[in-house]
Structure formats: C-alpha cells, structure tokens
Amino acid sequence: MFKRYRLLNPVLKIIRSVLDLAAPKNISSLWRFGSLLGVCLITQILTGLFLAIYFASDITLAFDSAVYISRDVNYGWLIRAIHANRASIFFICLYVHTGRGLYYRSFHYIEVWSIGITLLLLTIITAFLGYVLPWGQISYWAATVITNLVSSVPYVGTDVVSWLWGGFSVSNATLVRFYAFHFLFPFLIAALSLIHILYLHQEGSSNPLGINSSNDTIKFHPYFTTKDLFGFFIIWLILGIIVLFSPNLLIDPENFIPANPLVTPTHIQPEWYFLPIYAILRSIPNKLGGVIGLIMSIAILYFLPLYIKPTFRSSAFNIINQLVFWAITARFTILIWIGSKPVETPYEGIGITFTVIYFFLFLILAYTRKLPNNILI
C-alpha cells in the first residue's frame, strides 16, 4: 500500500518547490494574474471536456446540440455558461497580465516573455476556433471572413484555405477540423504554461522596481498564496454573478440564429476580446496588408526584449515610458469600441488613425531606450 503513495512523491516535490519559491517582497497584486490564468485554463479544460461529451461536430446537428446542452442536459446550461463567460474573464486576465509585463518591463526575461506571447497567440486562435463551434450566424460568417483572409498569402494562400475548409467553402469538414483543433490546443497551452512557469522559476519573478531583488525575498507560501486565493474568490464571484443573473450578456444575439450561408448579417463583429485586432484588420484597405497588420499587432511584442536593459527597467520611474504605456492602453480601449462599430464614417477614419498610432507608439518605445536613465519622476 505504501508503494502506491511513492508515485505521489514527484508531485509533492513540485508542490513543495512552488510553495517554497523565493519571491520578491515588493510584488503587488498585479502579479497574481498569472495564477488566475492557470485557474481559468483548468476551468476551461474541465468544462470543455463535459461539453465535448454532448456536442455533435456536424453542421446539421451542431446548433441543435448546443441548444440540447443548454435545455435538456442536467446543469448543461451552467457548464456552457461557465465555459462561454469564463473565456471573457480569461482574456481580461491575459491582457492585464501582458500589460503588467509591458509596464514593468518584464519582457527582459526573454524566455519567459517569448513563451508568454506564444501562449497569447495560441489562446486567441483557440478562442476563435471555439467561437465557430455553436454554428450560429456570427460563428459561420466569422469563420468565412477570417479563414478567407489566408488566401491573400502569395503562392500558398489558396491551398491553405482549401485545406482549412476541407473543400471550396466553409462546410462540415471545416467544423470537424475546428472542433479537433479546439479540443487539442488547450492541452498544448497547458504544456507551454508549465514550460513558462519553469523558466519563471529559473529567472525569478520581476518586481515593480525592475531591479535584481534576489537578496530580498520571502517564501511564496503563505504570503502570496493568500493573495492568490483572494483573487480566485473575486473572479469566481464575478463569474457567478454573470452566469446566474445574465449568462447571455456577452453573446451576440445573432448567434442564437442557426447558420445560414444565404443570409449575410448586416454587421459581423467578433467577441469583444477580438475587437482590437479586428479593428486593425479592417482599417488597412489592402487584404494582405490587413493580414500582416493583424499578425504584427501581436507579433510586435516578440521584439520588445531587444531593447537595452537600463539599471531601472520599470516604467514606474520613467515618465516617458508611462506616457507611452497609457497611450497604448487608451488606443487598445478605443479600438475595442471601433471594432464594434460598422465600417462607415467616422469610425473608419478613427480606426485607421489609431492603427497608425498603435505601431507608432512601439517605435517611440524603441526610441526611449536611447534616452538617459535619469529621466525619472
């Protein structure tokens, strides 16, 4: 009997190493969003597994199976509402986590940052694949519009689109492919998250000062586990309020209509967490240019570690970096609003303006590395 429990020793060692991890004394509550993302990912995987039991990946059954889950499966409405609304909380935590790394310049931990941006890209792709599965009007047309963008890639674009579609248009084969990838990608995200944490433990957490604080640390448990538990309680409270009082608050009403290839919605817009990159996509008149702009809106974050490391890396001590960061945050918020509006005057012009500003701000951020380190508040 005791031999059985020896199998738990590696797991116990990992848990003990996490609890005994030396963490900087001065890290704030903004550092808890990494653990919140872990909770969100576990919740999405577990609820997704339950939904996969009843979901039918067939265009004639997908919409009805989603309705069946909500109406006839015991607590199916609850599981589906948690899965759908937790995605929004997931992206809130993801954007705050990335923004914190940008503000405090944590991107100088190159391996941790690079894997983190890869996780951001994979999460966006996974969320898009899942958005298509209910096979409502917006789901179908979002799949049609986004996958058709790949055809703008020279030489191979048309072939790649045909492979994604499994034919000459979005069809049953497309739904099966998206379902398979949406099921598998969360496990890939979980594996990369473990690697992300492994590199984080090697490098050590950053801190608001942006300096090496290896000689001024405390144990992760109980000082930061209590903060994390409080964060878990808050996000579950928020999720509970949304799920129990307004579970369809963040769902487009058009998506309650079965997909109809013969009727195009008057205004196609994705979920709110896709709106900034969607606004960039449609603000560039050229199709290929729009695809490049969409990819670079996220991929540009990979280049941030190339900046020179000053003594004080944190933006908390540099007014120029602060202004650039809050300008990027304001641009992000405005593009969420622009992405939800139709492509017409004045929204089209505003979208183009703030798309240019977005990339220009990163050029300013690159220029600030040449400024003296003593431009402090």
Determine which one of 83, 139, 271, 297 is catalytic. 271
Judge whether residue 131 has pLDDT over 60.
yes
| Three-state DSSP class for residue 136 | strand
What number is the average pLDDT over the span 33-60?
Answer: 93
This model's pTM is above 0.85: yes
Token representation of residue 25: 């004394």
Specify the residue for token string 């519009």.
Answer: 145
Inter-residue contact 133 to 175 (CB < 8 Å)? yes
Torsion from C-alpha of 78, 183, 36, 95, nearest 10 degrees: -110
Token representation of residue 30: 């903004």
Inter-residue contact 193 to 118 (CB < 8 Å)? no
Q: How far is CA 85 from the centre of its chain?
A: 14
Determine which one of 35, 65, 196, 228 is catalytic. 228
| Three-state DSSP class for residue 24 | strand
HSE-up of residue 61 (Cα within 13 Å, Cβ side): 8
* Residue 228 annotated among the catalytic residues of the structure: yes
- Give the DSSP H or E segment for 233: helix 225-245
Confidence class of residue 212 from pLDDT cuts 50, 70 and 90?
low
Judge whether residue 311 has pLDDT over 80.
no
Of the ranges 25-34, 160-169, 204-213, 359-368, the best mean pLDDT one: 160-169
What number is the average pLDDT over the span 317-346?
Answer: 84
* Residue 216 annotated among the catalytic residues of the structure: no
Q: Where are the domains of the chain?
A: 30-268, 271-377
Give the Cβ contact number of residue 29 at 10 Å: 11
Determine which one of 152, 221, 227, 348 is catalytic. 227
* Residue 97 annotated among the catalytic residues of the structure: no
Token representation of residue 66: 């989603």
pLDDT at 94: 94
Q: How far apart are the first and last CA of the chain?
A: 63
User: Which CA distances in Å does 23 have to 222, 231, 275?
Assistant: 11, 18, 36
Inter-residue contact 321 to 365 (CB < 8 Å)? yes
* Residue 309 annotated among the catalytic residues of the structure: no
Spatial CA neighbour of 44 closest among 97, 88, 87: 87
Determine which one of 57, 65, 205, 206 is catalytic. 205
Determine which one of 58, 151, 169, 201 is catalytic. 201
Of the ranges 44-53, 95-104, 208-217, the best mean pLDDT one: 44-53
CATH architecture of 30-268: Up-down Bundle (1.20)
Percentage of residues in the chain with pLDDT exceeding 70?
86
* Residue 182 annotated among the catalytic residues of the structure: no
